[in-house]
Structure 1
Amino acid sequence: MMVVCVARAHATETEPATGEGEKLLAFSARIAGDDARTRVVIDFDGKPEFSAHYVASPERIVIDLPATAFGFPAADLSARGLFKDIRYGTMGQGSARIVLTGIRPVRLVLAEVQKNEGHGYRLVLDAEMTTPKAFADLVAQQKWVQPQSGSAIEGLGASARDPATDGVFTIAVDAGHGGIDTGAMGATSKTPEKEITLAFAETLAARLNQEKGVKAFLTRDSDTFLSLSERVTLARQGGADLFISLHADTLGQKNIRGATVYTLSDTASDRMAAALAARENLSDQLAGYSIESGPPEIADILLDLARRETQAFSISLAERVVKSFDGQIGLINNPHRQAGFQVLRAPDMPSILLELGFLSNPADEALLLDPAWRQKVADRMADAVGRYRAETVAGGG
């Protein structure tokens, strides 16, 4: 991996103008996000020219600026999310620098200057996790250039391909739980939910990959913990057209059994759906993660429209799954339900959560452990996805 030496950047709470030429003033800053995606926003009194680079060992993002006085409290840009250390300060008479040190390999998917509605401009940096190899490629391929105004995203790493135009229908199959988060436990076999979801995810992905023009991949292929945001980010990085999250929960009422398909709604369709969503959303907290900040997204009209369109596609997929299961795979009463599952909140990717059955019910538990039954369910899922693709994506229904 190429290593580029970077001059030391001094974190300063305030840095007054010195009178030696004009300086930009960075008058406020904020940071939000989690271990998968993080946004940094810095407000300036003028339009800043900037450039962004990657540095290895440890993984860092370096932002070079013209002479800048940093006039915001240091606590406003304290490290969080993807970054374990953030330093900024003067680099010389005519330049300044911000150094963002990652907790893991990281890349920028957006780096641009935007005009504020009121005073000045803001520098927006959206970072997301990436692989060590991808980061090494970024370091090796980048070109160090002079700061520029507007955007410096070119050459910083391609975003996920556009799934609408690549000719491949891509599906992210997400095995719920994993690692420290075991999920529910089988009432009789004591098999943890994380093992059941992974076994079915492997079966489903293999079945979907038999379909022409379809590519399915797993968000996890081992007993590994992934935060809820990591799951969505991995799906997006893989260019997924669909996101299918798999679970097998428990209920206090052991007589309830059958599959359930969930789509996202801020208002749960019933008390059982609300309770299940609350339990699934606790996954991050079990491993010491927090979901309070949520993903760094902009709540605007365009995003709201995207969510509505995506939600309509999600509902369409859920209805086709229920129809494909009907008479073939046992379903709970009112099998399409809605609740506020965090893992379904991607605004740009149709998503469903499939509860395969309930480990609290002995009959369901026996089916969940049966490879032949899992294959049958995978066949019905492939049928549902095929109908969704033909009727919805192709505009035929």
Structure 2
Amino acid sequence: MADRVNRWTSLGCRLLCAAALSCGPFVVPGVAEGTPPSPSANTDFPIVSEARLAGDAKQTRFIVDLDKKIQFRAFTLADPYRVVVDVPQVTFQLPSGTGNAGRGLVKAFRYGLVMPGGSRIVFDLTGPAKIANSYVLDAANGQPPRLVLELEQVDRNAFTQQLALDDRPELRPTIADAKAAMPAEGTPNAKPGEPADSRPLIVIDPGHGGIDNGTQSNGELEKNLVLGFGLALRDRIEKSGKYRVVMTRTDDTFIPLNDRVKIARSQSAALFVSIHADALPRREGDAQGATIYTLSDKASDVEAERLAEAENKADAIAGVNLSDEPTEVADILIDLARRETKTFSNRFARLLVSEMKTTARMHKHPLKSAGFRVLKAPDVPSVLVELGYVSNKGDLEHLVSENWRNKAVGSMLQAIDAFFAKRLATATPDTPDK
């Protein structure tokens, strides 16, 4: 099995090299190429201290108080109607719940880090609107510098005209230019002259991040819960010494869904594990327990379909325009690789359920499938793990418990060991595993 995994991984990478090479390096304006700053490395960012809406359904104004002037760019997106404001990385010091309620032309807005060096504010609109004016005011008369955005109601035709102007290359969303985000840690490239590291490479993908909070309950954000779990899993895997590990993110940064997949492909990963935590509206009951998902064109049930639809909207939540995303290369060999990869993904999912049920509460139907975009690498066995429901009191208590996390991480490592058992048994330090 291990030989087939490596064969198809290598084949898939060769077949998809054109797509991978088209993804340029992650560059932030004003930062040396290849050295993106860590969001936590510098705390001297401009501070956003207040954000508010005023106006009505015909004209709405958005005002942000800052401690220093900043540059910005604003543009519109359609289907759904949105306005996006890109700014340099800032520190949002806003009360919890800011943006949940809208006013006038704005249903709600969200904000956060969208890439190292860049923050974003995304407005969900009640209908088509244009950016009538946008500017930054100097500090004056005891008032701080302010960023002001003025919106006006328009019809669909006028909105489409504005959208065409906003689609100029120089005004496209910054995140759309960052086609392949560099993994923050764990890049396994060997130094010149050193033998290649033959240990299996595992990509751990904490879901959401930055402007995309994921689900939330009782003040706990999914993006923080799954990041903590992902880091603990990385540390446990690396401590075993049997594997190399790459994280799609190690801090509160937004990574587009396609870029998460590209990280796994570009690193010739042997396994991709995406970590999430679900939530259900109160009217849908009180589901509980962990669930393991694999990729399928047809969802295994209504709940799986709902979750996949919600997770696949992550890029839209962050205001990413997906119109320029490349399509998959149609090739019979890729299809063959995808079929074999699906077999391996299903096998790992079953192993994961078998091990996790000894340490974690599992969903009554713990194995499911749906069309998750993040699982669509045709050459990398991939699963998505919903650790539990933040909307369930018992699950949430587990998710915030370090003791529970350590047990769950241990069971996941046992599943990984079982999955790679044959490969680890046949590999030797002098003979790279092929």
Residue 185 (str. 1) matches residue 216 (str. 2): yes
Counterpart in 2 of 1:309?
Answer: 340
Deviation at 1:184, TM superposition (A): 0.3
Counterpart in 2 of 1:282?
Answer: 313
Counterpart in 1 of 2:252?
Answer: 223
In structure 2, give the amino acid aligned to 1:217: V
The aligned runs of 1:143-222 (5 Å cut-off) are 166-186=197-217, 189-222=218-251
Deviation at 1:201, TM superposition (A): 0.5
In structure 2, give the amino acid aligned to 1:129: A
Mapped contact 1:36–1:230 kept (Cα < 8 A): no
Deviation at 1:339, TM superposition (A): 0.2
Mapped contact 1:207–1:379 kept (Cα < 8 A): yes
In structure 2, give the amino acid aligned to 1:347: P
Deviation at 1:129, TM superposition (A): 3.4
The aligned runs of 1:1-397 (5 Å cut-off) are 38=22, 84=169, 129=180, 166-186=197-217, 189-252=218-281, 253-291=284-322, 294-391=325-422
Distance 1:225 1:58, change over 3 A: closer
Counterpart in 2 of 1:4?
Answer: none
- The worse-fitting range, judged by mean Cα deviation, of 244-253 and 268-277 is 244-253
Mapped contact 2:182–2:263 kept (Cα < 8 A): no
- Mapped to 2, the partners of 1:171 and 1:129 lie a distance apart of 18
SS at 2:343 equivalent: helix
- Mapped to 2, the partners of 1:391 and 1:250 lie a distance apart of 37
Distance 1:294 1:314, change over 3 A: farther
SS at 1:210 equivalent: helix
Deviation at 1:241, TM superposition (A): 1.2
Deviation at 1:234, TM superposition (A): 2.0
SS at 2:220 equivalent: coil
- Mapped to 1, the partners of 2:384 and 2:296 lie a distance apart of 12
Aligned-residue sequence identity (percent) comes to 38
Deviation at 1:211, TM superposition (A): 1.7
Mapped contact 1:37–1:233 kept (Cα < 8 A): no
Distance 1:104 1:84, change over 3 A: farther
Deviation at 1:324, TM superposition (A): 0.6
Mapped contact 2:288–2:395 kept (Cα < 8 A): yes
Distance 1:392 1:323, change over 3 A: farther
Deviation at 1:302, TM superposition (A): 0.7
Deviation at 1:38, TM superposition (A): 4.7
- Mapped to 2, the partners of 1:277 and 1:105 lie a distance apart of 22
Distance 1:270 1:249, change over 3 A: same
In structure 1, give the amino acid aligned to 2:290: A
In structure 2, give the amino acid aligned to 1:213: K
Gaps of 5+ in 1: 1-34, 41-55, 61-77, 86-101, 107-126, 133-157, 159-164
The Cα offsets for residues 207-266 of structure 1, whole Å up to 9 and x where unpaired, read as: 111223211221101111110011112223333211100000101344210000000001
Distance 1:293 1:314, change over 3 A: farther
The Cα offsets for residues 83-114 of structure 1, whole Å up to 9 and x where unpaired, read as: 947xxxxxxxxxxxxxxxx97999xxxxxxxx
Please tell me the root mean square deviation across aligned C-alpha atoms, in Å. Answer: 3.9
Task: Give TM-score scaled by structure 2 length.
Answer: 0.54
- Mapped to 2, the partners of 1:249 and 1:199 lie a distance apart of 16
- Mapped to 2, the partners of 1:275 and 1:394 lie a distance apart of 40
- Mapped to 1, the partners of 2:176 and 2:303 lie a distance apart of 39
- Mapped to 2, the partners of 1:368 and 1:130 lie a distance apart of 28
In structure 2, give the amino acid aligned to 1:206: D
Gaps of 5+ in 2: 1-18, 34-163, 184-188, 190-195, 427-434
Name the one with the larger helix percent.
Answer: 2
SS at 2:336 equivalent: helix
Distance 1:57 1:224, change over 3 A: closer
Distance 1:363 1:292, change over 3 A: farther
- Mapped to 2, the partners of 1:37 and 1:331 lie a distance apart of 40
In structure 2, give the amino acid aligned to 1:201: G
SS at 1:209 equivalent: helix
SS at 2:255 equivalent: coil
Task: Give TM-score scaled by structure 1 length.
Answer: 0.59
Q: Which has the larger radius of gyration?
A: 1
In structure 2, give the amino acid aligned to 1:349: V
Deviation at 1:328, TM superposition (A): 2.5
